[in-house]
Amino acid sequence: MEAVAGRFVIGEGYAFYRGPSAGVGEHRHAAYQVTAADVGEAVVVDESGACHRGAAVIVPPLVRHRMPAAAGLRTWFVEPQCAFAAVLRARCGTGVTVAGDLRGLREEDVRFAGRPSGALDPRLLAAMEALARPDVRVAAAAAEAGLSPQRLRALAVRQLGMPLARWRIWRCLTRAARALSEGRSIAEAAVDGGFADQAHFHRRLREMIGLTPAAVVPMVRRSAPRGDVHGD
């Protein structure tokens, strides 16, 4: 989705992109991805080269994939602790899954299911809430939740299907994207997100989303004036 016009929304527990894709190289993110085609099919290619196509496609967290160029796509990124992620987790295994019935998925459907899932251990949710603050370390969050750091990490992998470290990077990217939507420069957004520098921000965003910060800027700023950036 490089250098294309589109709409990018940042919500609480999710993000949403609507627009064309100019083709995205291999990447893997710390969220469930649902990509739906307005017309025709959405196409996702996994790292083995297998092509998954359908009206909508689910990509679980940490699954490496790429997306060929396409027009008229709607893509949701849903954090693994959310109620809607629990629905997606039940729908797919460890690989890319075609889910044609999700073509009609609306942004509102995901927004209202962005709350934490009641199926997750409340101690894990408490620790994640603490870790959403950039200055909190894992040991402190674990203690706040009544767990050892080792137990917390193991619980996250078991229930979320991914390490907490990857989720924290995703949260850093979310903070940085919000900063961009508010008019900050890429360098300032990198600092707000908690990255070491602008190059670190660029590398992590490219790794997890397949986009550069420069490509994200016009999308988030185009969306912000319409009141579509949530998470206050």
C-alpha 66: how far from chain center: 15
Judge contact between 78 and 160, C-beta under 8 A: no
Tell me the three state secondary structure of residue 46. Answer: strand
Answer yes or no: is 204 within a domain. no
Answer yes or no: is 186 within a domain. no
Residue 230 has pLDDT above 50, yes or no: no
> How far lies 213's CA from each of 23, 60, 186, 188, 217, in Å?
16, 23, 7, 12, 6
Tell me the three state secondary structure of residue 177. Answer: helix
Same domain, 94 and 126: no
CA distance 13 to 112: 10
Q: Which residue has the higher pLDDT, 114 or 151?
A: 151
Answer yes or no: is 181 within a domain. no
Answer yes or no: is 177 within a domain. no
Give a three-class secondary structure readout of 75-131.
Answer: EEEECCCEHHHHHHHHHCCCCCEECHHHHHCCHHHHHHCCCECCCCCHHHHHHHHHH
Summarised one tens digit per residue, pLDDT across range 80-110 is: 999 999 999 999 888 999 999 999 999 889 9
pLDDT range class, residue 224, cuts 50, 70, 90: low
Same domain, 95 and 141: no
Summarised one tens digit per residue, pLDDT across range 43-84 is: 999 999 999 999 999 999 999 999 998 988 999 999 999 999
The tokens for 3 are 């250098």
- The tally of domains found in the chain comes to 2
Answer yes or no: is 196 within a domain. no
As a whole-number percent, the residues of the chain with pLDDT over 70 amount to: 93
Same domain, 39 and 12: yes
Domain containing 153 equals 122-162
The tokens for 220 are 């988030």
Same domain, 155 and 74: no
Same domain, 105 and 216: yes
Answer yes or no: is 17 within a domain. yes
Answer yes or no: is 188 within a domain. no
Same domain, 96 and 135: no
- Rounded to two decimals, what is the model's pTM? 0.87
Same domain, 13 and 110: yes
Mean pLDDT of 216-230: 62
Same domain, 140 and 29: no
Answer yes or no: is 193 within a domain. no
> How far lies 48's CA from each of 45, 79, 96, in Å?
8, 25, 11
As a whole-number percent, the residues of the chain with pLDDT over 90 amount to: 69
CA distance 227 to 198: 27
Same domain, 62 and 103: yes
Same domain, 106 and 13: yes
The H or E element that residue 209 is part of is helix 198-209
Same domain, 54 and 78: yes
Same domain, 13 and 73: yes
Domain containing 32 — which CATH number? 2.60.120.10
